[in-house]
């Protein structure tokens, strides 16, 4: 396992991440009765989700 740290200082970039997270959450299908929608609650969690998805894609593309 590796751990990475990033810093985003531009307010427009932070707003972009928040907007992308909101769009992702809005696109989730409605849950069945009695279940809750599995939304991503924080920008940090959304960036982790995006980077994990990117790493998975890299592994497949480069057959790692």
| Torsional class of 19: left (φ above 0), alpha (ψ -120 to 50), beta (otherwise) | alpha
pTM, to two decimals: 0.88
Residues 58, 33 contacting (CB under 8 angstroms): no
The ranges assigned to domains in the chain are: 39-64
| Three-state SS annotation for the chain | CCCCCCCCCCHHHHHHHHHHHHHHHHHCCCCCCCCCCCCCCCHHHHHHHHHHHHHHHHHHHCCC
Per-residue confidence in pLDDT tens, the chain, 64 aa:
999 999 999 999 999 999 999 999 999 999 999 999 999 999 999 999 999 999 999 999 999 8
């Amino acid at each position: 396992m590796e751990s990475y740290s990033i810093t985003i200082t531009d307010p427009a970039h932070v707003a972009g991440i928040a907007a992308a997270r909101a769009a992702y959450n809005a696109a989730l299908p409605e849950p069945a009765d009695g279940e809750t929608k599995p939304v991503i609650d924080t920008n940090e969690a959304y960036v982790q989700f995006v980077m994990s998805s990117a790493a998975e894609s890299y592994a497949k593309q480069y057959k790692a």
